[in-house]
Structure 1
């Protein structure tokens, strides 16, 4: 069983968390952390995907041929601004509505349910993509401006949120790559809590595991399972070469027969 699917023991998690020392504030209960260390794609692999011209559309076709339907269209999770792009391994977060109502918590002066705060960022590496499952919670924010500043400064590659964000003007100004289901001014404080960190999550009907490669552009988001990422890249690079030859031929007035020899019409 791979590191992406196995659950570390509580002792292993505690030992790994202890290595972070004062950089953690105890904002995520240890029993909600499924794993800390896990396999990520090699930097050269990530760089190879980054160089693809038509990123998500090319890879979506390859994954279809391999039996993986992992495309999340921009109509489901739209990019926060035009032109944003993202390639990086997933760190996963699962949110759920708080067990006690927000009104009760506020009236009683209860400590807000924990959303993970900066501890989530401390447990990421530069270039990671933070992926948040929120089951489409539409009335409160799963991510806002202060966290946006924190993840940007930490070198997080981007965020994919099946839920809502707020303070989007600040995110756009700092050019933070975000794909989210919605936008709201309402805080998630007292309303939402983090229930699991670095376990499998469901994002718009697609399973994402820690270490899977997340690709994003204006067409949407693609999840590349870690175990097939190298094979996908090899096939995507070959497809890109064929398409570039086809484009050049079309621009030079090639006949239908000539273009068909480069790429069969059914592949267009």
Structure 2
């Protein structure tokens, strides 16, 4: 199953008005309680939000031994041999403006993204990076904020002598969740979540339902607590009222009886 670029953009426009927690609710509402949520130890490099469709790749731990050589020979070995042959790839050709790059490093403490490639991928239009590996050059990467990143570690090494290119366009596992090419990836301060491509429409239907009701409740509680309403209380979708819609009367009863 694949989606046209136009349909992808429509979905991403909808998702831009939702939170990761809303997507989690949508998956629950269609019975997929154990699907989607990436392990919470994979965190954003900074508080941000991104969504896109998975372009997957894999880095494999190498079994090669780095030969003894002079530093000048090492330069040639690293760039001509490792990056020219062992890590050579055409990943850039697969990145589109709707891409969320998903990098499986097989849980090795090596970089999936650094300051330079993060800017390259951003310049190509990628929307975010999700990895079970690490972020390198994190001070610069954090300062430039070229592309949102969710990773497991902050790491130091380069790829050569550590991981080999393992291919792209295959199902991978990130933080306990399978990710297939074309799956929807949504990520924010609460972590990342993956929606299988074949259930996106149903998930969004119920994510919207629960999100809209949450906004109603937030507005009522803001009023009760004397907090000025903000954008988080504003409706984003024209949908029917929630089947269990909260009202001011219901909220007053809950607060008075302390039954929640």
TM-score normalised to structure 2 length: 0.76
Alignment equivalent of 1:114, drawn from 70, 86, 96 = 86
Q: Distance in 2 between matches of 1:182 and 1:241?
A: 35
Structure ID, larger Rg = 2
Contact 1:59 1:232 in 2 (8 A): yes
1:173 aligns with 2:139: no
* CA spacing shift, 1:77–1:260, aligned 2, 3 Å: farther
- Report deviation, 1:103: 4.3
Q: Distance in 1 between matches of 2:17 and 2:253?
A: 26
2:131 alignment counterpart: 161
Q: Distance in 2 between matches of 1:196 and 1:131?
A: 12
Q: Any idea what SS the aligned residue of 1:170 has?
A: helix
Q: Distance in 1 between matches of 2:68 and 2:251?
A: 67
* CA spacing shift, 1:104–1:128, aligned 2, 3 Å: farther
The total of aligned residue pairs comes to: 222
Q: Any idea what SS the aligned residue of 2:64 has?
A: coil
Gaps of 5+ in 1: 4-37, 263-267
1:240 alignment counterpart: 211
TM-score normalised to structure 1 length: 0.74
- Report deviation, 1:192: 0.7
- Report deviation, 1:125: 0.5
1:148 aligns with 2:141: no
* CA spacing shift, 1:227–1:255, aligned 2, 3 Å: closer
Q: Any idea what SS the aligned residue of 1:193 has?
A: strand
Q: Distance in 1 between matches of 2:159 and 2:170?
A: 21
Q: Distance in 1 between matches of 2:103 and 2:252?
A: 43
Counterparts of 1:31-50 in structure 2, within 5 Å, are: 42-50=8-16
- Report deviation, 1:90: 0.4
Q: Any idea what SS the aligned residue of 2:134 has?
A: strand
Q: Distance in 2 between matches of 1:86 and 1:129?
A: 8
Q: Distance in 2 between matches of 1:211 and 1:61?
A: 21
- Report deviation, 1:130: 0.5
2:43 alignment counterpart: 78
Across the aligned residues of Structure 1 and Structure 2, the Cα RMSD in angstroms comes to 2.8
Contact 1:94 1:197 in 2 (8 A): yes
* CA spacing shift, 1:133–1:261, aligned 2, 3 Å: farther
